[in-house]
Structure 1
Amino acid sequence: MSAVQTTIVIVHGAFEHIGRYQHLIKQLKDDGYKVICRDLPGQGRSEGVKGHIDSFHQYIHTIEEWLQEADEGPVFLLGHSMGGLAVIRTMQQIKPKVNGVILASPAVGILEGASKPMEVASRMLNRVCPKLQVGTQLKSEKVTRNESVRKRDGEDALILEKVSVRWYREFQHNIQQAFVKINEFPEVPLLIMQAGEDLMVDAEKTKEWFHSVDLSEKTYKEWPGLYHEIFNEPEWKQVYTYTSHFIHQQLSNLHHKEG
């Protein structure tokens, strides 16, 4: 089956925007894939209050809309970090018909959450002042070793510096739901690629989720030495090649089934 008929839907992570992945998008398009990718609600150039969502379902609904834009033919969902969590929750809730799911350092556990007092306060503030914004923990040197990306990020006005209390509570709640609803994840080939030196998400929680999900075909790949944003690391083309092999394998399987 020709790669021209294949669509890749990319879901970016928290605090950022899809413009940070132009190199990945270009590579996919050069290889003949159709790519669907835009900024998530409240991030990048999207509409709405920056750094805020009323409900995590806004992400799920947005991903569902992107999937509906795909042409007839194979479709793959690729989610990074919080985008990976959003892909998991989309699969659990609406069970879209896709040919494969690719998760890059998915945020099913975070390393630097709020302190215990702030965690308690956030629950109260979520009820009385959900749009109150607080500073993020994101620092470019924690997500990539790539100096050119770090420099670019330092000049990028679209990267969020604050998020709302409601956003944080919805994020935390859906991390929990990703585990609670583990058996709701449909029978779809899965590739999880986890950064070996991740300073943002808890790699042990990624492994726990991976080992808990009951699928007939799933692959876990750890990238030793790579920081959180594996598609923005100096070795990103190696990551891309591994991803491409997974996609081609699923297309080959589909071809044999149809044959």
Structure 2
Amino acid sequence: MTDFAPLQALGPIAPARVPGNTPWTPHLDHYLAHYQLAPLLTDHVGLHVGYLDARGFRLWTQVWSPTTPRGTAFVVHGYFDHLGLYRHLLDRLLSEGWRVVLWDLPGHGLSSGERATIDDFDDYGECLVALQSQLDDQGLIPKPWVGIGQSTGAAILATDALRNGQTSEWHGLALLAPLVRPLGWPQSSWLHRLASPFITTLPRKYRPNSSDSDFTAFLREADPLQADYLTLTWVSAMRRWMPQLIALPESELPVLILQGEQDLTVDWAWNLEVMTRKFPCAQVHRHPEARHHLVNEAEPIRQILFNELSRFLDQLVPNDIERPGT
């Protein structure tokens, strides 16, 4: 099995393409190749890579940039995910002129922290704020800022925007299959209450969360950064977070919600009701065949969803770059 642990010895985030620069190692070459990110690193795209310290965690962070960025897109992944799985979205955003910040959540990918868990969902939000502050100090994240989150990542971004209200620095958010509660929560919440005093983890069940069979096979068979268990500490943190989100005041922020109607991971119909109350200006696009992992759906579905995302971002920040086929 591929081992990317040597990358955890890298230092603070720094330019990766400068000759002789410390971050550039054979291990980084292998990592970029394994997750098919290497082809995106062209003569017209720069990369900063390394770690940022935030709230007691070391966060594996990458900043990808075209020559003249139109703004910065922060991509926040979902539970069990890591940034290496987001090449399709990264490719689209780079092609449209966005500087892109990706980072592994605590307990995920190459970031520090107990695997697949968090004590409090606020830790995620505080890590995001600390990451933005440090990157801003380095002049790496030109405005406007947009946030794009998948599932738990969407929950993190939505919470941040709602808590900050009119002082939020977000220009807009795209929430992909946003988490508020998982599918079957009314029943499973009782099981969680009964089981949590006695057990700490449950074996992960790999259900197809995308109609792209190659992607789902890769998760099961070829991704060494996947956790094989669900932690009840994470479920407890989610349980405490849900009523906090629901109690927050609504926001007029421009928001796009993309949702698959074959999603068997989150309680999507209930979640959409909550999110559209919180963001009354939200545009909602539902796809009848899409499942949960929208950034890695089968190509025909993914292109429809990404085209909706592109239109939304163009409404926020007009794009002078002509896309192929337009």
TM-score of the superposition, structure 1-length normalised? 0.85
Give the match's secondary structure for 2:75.
Answer: strand
CA distance in 2, matches of 1:159, 1:133: 15
Task: Please give the residue correspondences for 1:22-37 in structure 2 after superposition, counting only pairs within 5 Å.
Answer: 22-37=87-102
Q: 2:271 aligns with which of 206, 209, 227?
A: 206
Pairing of 1:45-56 with structure 2 (within 5 A):
45-56=110-121
Q: Which residue of 2 aligns with 1:256?
A: none
Q: Which residue of 2 aligns with 1:100?
A: 172
SS of corresponding position for 2:310: helix
Aligned residue pairs total 242
| CA spacing shift, 1:3–1:204, aligned 2, 3 Å | farther
In the alignment, which residue of structure 1 is the partner of 2:240?
173
Q: Give the alignment's Cα RMSD to 1 decimal.
A: 2.3
The answer to whether the 8 Å contact 1:28/1:35 transfers is: yes
1:101-149 Cα shifts (integer Å, max 9, x gaps): 1100001121144735532225546xxx8xx322234x241x1010110
Q: For residues 161-202 of structure 1, what are the alpha-carbon distances to aligned partners after superposition, in whole Å with 9 as ceiling and x for unaligned?
A: 223322111112212322122x1x433101111111111111
Larger of the two Rg values belongs to structure? 2
Contact kept in structure 2, 1:41 and 1:48, CA below 8 Å:
yes
- Which has the higher relative contact order, 1 or 2, with Cα contacts under 8 A spaced 6 or more apart? 1
Counterpart code for 2:110 = R
The residue that corresponds to 2:22 in the other structure is none
Q: Percent identity?
A: 23
- Partner residue in 1 for 2:219: 153
Q: Secondary structure at the match of 1:170?
A: helix
Structure with greater proportional helix content: 1
Pick from 182, 188, 197 the counterpart of residue 110 of structure 1. Answer: 182
Q: Which runs of 5+ in 1 are unaligned?
A: 254-259
- Partner residue in 2 for 1:133: 201
Gaps of 5+ in 2: 1-66, 320-326
Q: Contact between 1:9 and 1:66, CA under 8 Å: does it hold in 2?
A: no
The correspondence for 1:233, drawn from 297, 306, 317, is 297
Cα 1:24–1:222 change in 2 (3 A) is: same
- Is 1:220 aligned with 2:284? yes
What is the one-letter code of the residue matched to 2:240?
H
* SS of 1:5 mapped into structure 2: coil
Task: Describe the shift of the 1:219–1:117 C-alpha distance in structure 2 as closer, same or farther (beyond 3 A).
Answer: closer
| Equivalent-residue separation in structure 1 for 2:110 and 2:177 (angstroms) | 24
TM-score by length of 2: 0.68
> Structure 1 or 2: larger strand share?
2
Structure 2 counterpart of 1:249: 315
User: Is 1:88 paired with 2:158?
Assistant: yes
1:50·1:163 contact (CA, 8 Å) conserved in 2? no
Match of 1:10 in 2: 75
**Distance in 2 between residues matched to 1:227 and 1:39, nearest whole Å:** 23
1:257 is matched with which residue? none
Q: In 2, Cα distance between the equivalents of 1:111 and 1:169?
A: 16
Aligned 8 A contact 1:42 1:51 in 2: yes
How much has 1:209 moved relative to structure 2?
1.1
The runs of at least 4 aligned residues of structure 1 exceeding 6 Å deviation read none
Question: Is the 1:122–1:169 Cα contact (8 Å) retained in structure 2?
Answer: no
